[in-house]
Amino acid sequence: MSHQFTPVQWNGFKWRYDAIVLFGTILFVAVFVGLTMASRQPGESLAPVQILIRAFGAAAFLLLNIILSIGPLARISARFKPLLYNRRHMGVWCFSLALTHAGLTLMWYQGFSALNPVVALFASNVQYTSIAGFPFESLGVAALILLAMLAVSSHDYWQAALGASVWKRIHMGVYVAYGLLVMHVMLGIVQEEKAEFYPASVIGLFCIVAGLHIFSAFTGRVTDRRVKASLDGWINIGPPDKIAENRAKIVRTESDARIAVFRYDGKISAVSNVCAHQNGPLGEGRIVDGCITCPWHGWQYRPEDGRSPAPFEEKISTYRVQIDGGMVYVHPDPLPPGTPTKPAVIDEAANV
């Protein structure tokens, strides 16, 4: 939102959210370290740094799987939407865990020599043509660089500075990082360890994350067929009472745009379904205090002109609407963002 930028706009929900994530991390690391030490066989000795390397690596990987599940979960059930709200803190935290894992590894395995540890890392393994000997470290480095780009650009400022589409492209890199990390784990610790638990859990986690994405894509699709405009160019979206008060109906046009048609105070207005903040689905939001409110992060727009209330300056496209013969019609051509449009009045139409 375009008022004064601050590092984090804290509130009670974010504090509780972050506290639970922090507690979960401590719990995971503590249980892992504690049980690794407790399950030690007589005569075996342990290196604390090496236990921590594993603990932080596993924690970061598990957290990334959780983070990637939130998006599709929120699509599948609205109950999960609050999880979306502070997801970026989890992302930055995930990167911090991965960085700790990488830092400890670099220090412990590649440090203590006359070579620069980074040089040592690049030079240490050359078996790129072998699966059994593959330098899985390089996959981790590549993923860490991608996660770093995501973490440092997670503040809303970056969307404005880089442009929404560059920003989004960078952040889609999380999927590339995820793929790299699955292989980093498979070619690293999974090849080292004998127990089937490790490959089984990596494959299981990947199947859950991929499955949730596929499932949510298909369930989204059923209610999301493209609607043809009639000959005069307007789309019939049915009678006004099919739209719940202060809610919207989403239509997908032939040119693949989504329009959110809101009903409020006996009026109908239509805006783009895509929020200017994180491209959230405005049509799944509701009218709060007279403004369309995005379900993801609560950004608001006036239904009449698609503009955020002062002091904010965001604008989204609006669409022309009319009511004719008891049916709501919307015109699929978007008006420039922030264009005032006349809402269709339901009662008046009923009187005609």
Partner 1 sequence: MSIAAATALASALGFYLLLGVVFALYFIVFGVGRLVPAAKGSGIGFRLTIFWGAIILWPVLLFRLLKGPAELVPPRTWRRAHARIWMVLIPLVALGVMAALMLRPAAPLNDALPAGIMLEEASS
Partner 2 sequence: MSKTPKKDEFFVGYNAKLSSADRRAMILTAGIGLVGVALGGAKAAVHQQGWGSGDWDMGEVRDIEGIVEQTPYPVLRTAALDGQMRSVSLVCSSKCGASAILAPYEGKPVWVRGTVISRGRHRLLAVVDNQDWLGDAKNAVAAPPVEEEYLGLAALNGEILDAKCWAGAMRPGSGKTHKACASLCIRMGGTPWFVAKDKAGKRAIFVLTGPEGEPLREEVLAMVGEPVRASGKLMRRDDLVQFRVDPAVIQAV
Segment 278-307, which members bind partner 1 (CB under 8 A)?
Answer: 279, 281
Indicate which of partner 2, partner 1, none lies near residue 217 (CB less than 5 to 8 Å, by partner kind).
Answer: partner 1
Q: How far apart are CA 196 and CA 200, in angstroms?
A: 6
Of 287, 303, 281, which is closest to residue 78 (Cα–Cα)? Answer: 281
Q: Check residue 34 for interaction with partner 2 (CB under 8 A).
A: yes
Which residue in 116, 133, 157, 211 binds partner 2 (CB under 8 A)? 133
For 14, residues 6+ apart whose C-beta sits below 8 A from its C-beta are 8, 85, 86, 89
**What DSSP string describes 131-189?**
STT--HHHHHHHHHHHHHHHHHT-STHHHHHH-HHHHHHHHHHHHHHHHHHHHHHHHTH
CB of 295 or CB of 343, closer to partner 2: 295
Q: How far apart are CA 301 and CA 341, in angstroms?
A: 13
Whole-number minimum distance, CB 350 to partner 1, in Å? 33
Indicate which of partner 2, partner 1, none lies near residue 131 (CB less than 5 to 8 Å, by partner kind).
Answer: partner 1
Q: Check residue 214 for interaction with partner 2 (CB under 8 A).
A: no
Q: Check residue 201 for interaction with partner 1 (CB under 8 A).
A: no
Indicate which of partner 1, partner 2, none lies near residue 298 (CB less than 5 to 8 Å, by partner kind).
Answer: partner 2
Asked if residues 308 and 298 have their Cβ atoms less than 8 Å apart, the reply is no
Indicate which of partner 1, partner 2, none lies near residue 204 (CB less than 5 to 8 Å, by partner kind).
Answer: none
Which residue in 334, 343, 344, 349 binds partner 1 (CB under 8 A)? 334
Contact range with partner 2 by CB under 8 A, out of 242-250, 302-310, 316-324, 334-342: 242-250
Residue tagged 């972050």 (tokens): 18
Number of residues that bind partner 1 (CB under 8 A): 69
Of 57, 45, 149, which is closest to residue 104 (Cα–Cα)? Answer: 57
Q: Check residue 157 for interaction with partner 1 (CB under 8 A).
A: yes
Which residue in 152, 197, 221, 233 binds partner 2 (CB under 8 A)? 197
Of 238, 182, 233, which is closest to residue 206 (Cα–Cα)? Answer: 182
Q: Is the dihedral of CA 227, 228, 230, 235 positive or negative?
A: positive
Which residue in 120, 227, 257, 327 binds partner 2 (CB under 8 A)? 120
Give the pair of three-digit tokens for residue 208.
């859950």
Q: How far apart are CA 352 and CA 347, in angstroms?
A: 9
Binding site for partner 1 (CB under 8 A): 2-7, 43, 115-116, 118-123, 126, 131-133, 148-149, 151-153, 155, 157-158, 160-166, 168, 170, 172, 175, 178-179, 182-183, 186-187, 190-191, 199, 202-203, 206, 210, 213-214, 217, 220, 257-258, 272-276, 279, 281, 313, 316-317, 334, 337
